[in-house]
Structure 1
Amino acid sequence: MKAKLYRSVKDRKLGGVLGGLADYLNMDSSLLRIIFIVAFIGGVGSIGWIYLIWIFIVPNEGE
C-alpha cells in the first residue's frame, strides 16, 4: 500500500480517482471500476457524490 492517495495520471478514465485508489490499495483498477459501477447502479447513490468530491480533493500524481 502506498503512503498517500493520488489521482492517477497514467491509469485515468474520467478523473483518475479510481486508478489512483486502485494503486493505493494495490488492486486491479478494472475490478475497482466494476465494483464502483455495480454500487452506483445498485442504489448507493452517495458513491457518485463521493467520486465528484474526490476529484477536487485528491491531488494529481506528481503534484
Structure 2
Amino acid sequence: MADKTLALSNDKMLFGVCGGIAEYFGWSAGGVRLVYLLLSVLSAAFPGLFVYIVLWLLMPKQN
C-alpha cells in the first residue's frame, strides 16, 4: 500500500489545490471546488482566499 501525499494536482483550474485535496481523499474535484467556493463566499471570501494561497505555497507539486 503506497503512502498518500497531499500534493498539488495536475487536474487544476488555477493552481491545483482543490484537485490535490480531491485526489488525496478520493473525492470529485468538481465537488471540492464547489464546496470551497460556497465556503469562501459565505465567509466573505477573505479567509477562503487566504487558506487557498497558504495551501498553494505549502503543498508540494506532484512528481
Q: Which runs of 5+ in 1 are unaligned?
A: none
Q: CA deviation at 1:39?
A: 0.5
Report how many residues are paired.
60
CA distance in 1, matches of 2:47, 2:9: 22
**What's the % identity of the aligned pairs?**
22
Give matches, 1:1-63, under 5 Å: 3-9=4-10, 11-43=11-43, 45-62=46-63
The ranges of structure 1 where at least 4 consecutive aligned residues each deviate by more than 4 angstroms after the TM superposition are none
Q: Deviations over 1:20-58 (max 9, x none)?
A: 100001000000100001001111631210110111110
TM-score by length of 1: 0.86
RMSD: 1.3
Task: Provide the C-alpha distance between the structure 2 equivalents of 1:3 and 1:43, rounded to a whole number of angstroms.
Answer: 30
TM-score normalised according to structure 2 size? 0.86
